[in-house]
Amino acid sequence: MKKYSKRLLALLLCGCCLLTACGQSDKTSNSSAEQTQAPAPSQTAAHEVVLAYAKQEGFNPYLSTNTLVLQCAQLLYTNLVTIKDDFSLEYLAAADVQPSGESVRITLGNTTFADGSRVGAADLAASIEAARASKLYGSRFAGVTSVRTEGDAAVVTLSEPDALFAYLLDIPVMKAGQTGEKQPMSSGRYSVGVAGNTLEANGWFAEKTTFDTITLNPVTAYDAIVSGVNMGNLSLYVSEQDADLAGNNICHTAYYNLNHLIFLGINAANPVANQPAMRSALNLGVSRRQIADKAYYSRAYVATTLANSRYPFLDGTHTLPADADVAAAKAQIESLGYTYDTATGYYQDASGKRLSLELLCYSGNNFKRYLATLVKEQLKDCGIEINLVEENDFAAYHEKIASGQFSLYIGEVKLYNNINMSPFFSASGDAHYGIVPSEALLGAYRAAKADLTAYGAFEQAFAAELPFLPLVYKNGVVTYTKQLKGFTPTISDAFYGFEQVSSVSAKK
């Protein structure tokens, strides 16, 4: 399995994750040297859209992890592929991605650089290599062992099969000789203006733009971006965070689906929680729908499968309940020999000891704290006493998890878009604490990674074993001024469908 790079600490802290944009032309070439005359720029009336940018960082996300560099990159570069909000793939600089065992063939699409030259196979390969070497994208490509060109295609060799490798390719395409420059030539909807403080519409992508010019405003602090949008000095910000959403009286908001999984960790070393029937009771006793609606104010959606149920190949698959089934949960508890004490409302064992478990949560995050309180209330209805253990210091919280000092805990992990579950299943994974998957489950996972037709069987195997409990997947949000309308962001591109965005005050 691929090594998951970031520590759980980093995964549970927050950040914007902005990738890149789309575009196409009418011609394909194996070399980026071919050039033709650019179409005339869009004749739509210019209206000032103002974006924050990191002036000293440049515009190359392969050289920076600054979120503002990534935001601008969405408009400057075309992805090899993009993931739409229904989690289907749209091919852009790549026309097709075909995995076969440990080999993946990526064929060339129809994309043009700003100078009129065509994106070639060498550009695809160079962009993947640059992504592998970058801090931002490198971890997702840890399983890549080599990249080469072969005719009009780039061929990637993997350390193990990955049927969803295409979902890792929502990365920007750049010229082969420019991936190490701070301002590579554009392959997307906009180019950097001569003065370096504007984005100018690229004539090759006229059908993908509404505004001829976007003004760039240097900003150094994230709080300044949030306040700038709230005050109307900036046009938007993109966030995967929990608690910086501007009110609807000030701004518009557009949500998009993420692969941020909120889960209930279960310690396999705990003799009470580790019983299969108890795991089943916990699974039946929590209401994922209530967690999404109340703890996340509908900014999350229920996890009815381990993998994000938005993926098309999981359509109709539901192995985890959205709502609690208290009667079924109680039946599982009683099958373990517990009896219900009507005086207290809790189950107890033969010796009269109350059925009780500790739930560790990071109380420095209000969403997580409220989630833990909800879980406590839900499981109380099932006769399970939950004692909350709150840690306001994140380092102390993480240390308790890493050292196994928990029965249950509230966790969050940002999964790669190819549904890499190594954070849970690998001994070096950042969310593996307390998890002891069976060889049968690991075998089902490996089969699913190699062949999507086996994914249903893996989900069934997971639901039978429940080494941890997926609860909800979070949404990201684009918050933008009320002078704009029509944003339809996705996990790959906050500016997806940007040609549909308009300004209520734009000149006609």
How many helices (H) does the chain have, and how many strands (E)?
12, 21
Per the DSSP assignment, residues forming a β-bridge with 468 are 265
- Read off the pLDDT of residues 381-412 as tens digits, 9 standing for 90 and up: 999 999 999 999 999 999 999 999 999 999 99
What's the pLDDT score for residue 372? 97
Give the tokens for residue 243.
Answer: 């608690």
Q: Amino acid identity, residue 261?
A: L
Supply the pLDDT for residue 466: 98
The residue to which tokens 């086996």 are assigned: 454
Per-residue pLDDT of 229-240, as tens digits, reads 988 899 999 988
The pLDDT assigned to 230 comes to 86
pLDDT of residue 107: 98
What pLDDT does residue 426 have?
94
* Better pLDDT: 22 or 157: 157
Phi, psi of 260 (to 5 degrees): -90, 110
Given a contact cutoff of 8 angstroms between Cβ atoms, the answer to whether 362 and 372 are in contact is no
Whether residue 29 is predicted with pLDDT greater than 70 in this model: the reply is no
Question: Would you say 260 and 412 are in contact if contact means Cβ atoms under 8 Å apart?
Answer: yes
pLDDT higher than 90, residue 125:
yes
**Each residue's pLDDT tens digit, 51-93:** 999 999 999 999 999 999 999 999 999 999 999 999 999 999 9
For the chain, state the CA radius of gyration.
24
210 vs 261, residue with greater confidence:
261
Query: For the segment 262-293, what is each residue's pLDDT rounded down to a tens digit?
Result: 999 999 999 999 999 999 999 999 999 999 99
Q: What's the mean per-residue pLDDT of the chain?
A: 89
> Whole-model pTM above 0.85?
yes
**Quick one: average pLDDT of 160-175?**
98
Q: Token pair 């890549």 is at which residue?
A: 144
Contact 17, 416 (CB under 8 A): no
Tell me: pLDDT of 463 over 50.
yes
Which helix (H) or strand (E) segment is 67 a member of? helix 67-76
Q: Which of 338, 474, 347, 463 is nearest to 414 (CA)?
A: 474
- Going by pLDDT thresholds of 50, 70 and 90, the confidence category of residue 243 is low
Q: Closest Cα to residue 389, out of 372, 374, 365, 377? A: 372
Cβ-proximal residues to 194 (8 Å cutoff; 6+ apart), any chain: none
- Residue 247 scores a pLDDT above 90: no
Among 326, 331, 344, 332, smallest CA distance to 381 is for 326
pLDDT at 12 > cutoff 80:
no
CB 391 within 8 Å of CB 363: yes
CA distance 203 to 44: 12
Looking at the predicted structure, is the pLDDT value of residue 112 above 70?
Answer: yes
d(CA 344, CA 354): 9
For helices 439-450 and 455-465, the axis angle rounded to 10 degrees is 160
Q: Element (H or E) spanning 374, and its range?
A: helix 366-380
State yes or no: pLDDT of 19 exceeds 80. no
**Residue 298, token pair as written in the block:** 């509908």
CB 86 within 8 A of CB 3: no
CA dist., res. 417 & res. 307, Å (int): 10
Choice between 44 and 364, residue whose per-residue pLDDT is larger: 364
Q: Give the integer Cα–Cα distance in Å for 100 and 96.
A: 13
Q: Strand 339-341 vs strand 346-348: parallel, antiparallel, or unpaired?
A: antiparallel
Backbone angles phi and psi of 43, in degrees to 5: -100, 10
Which is higher by pLDDT, 444 or 37?
Answer: 444
112 backbone dihedrals φ, ψ, rounded to 5°: -120, 135
Residue 9 pLDDT greater than 80, yes or no: no
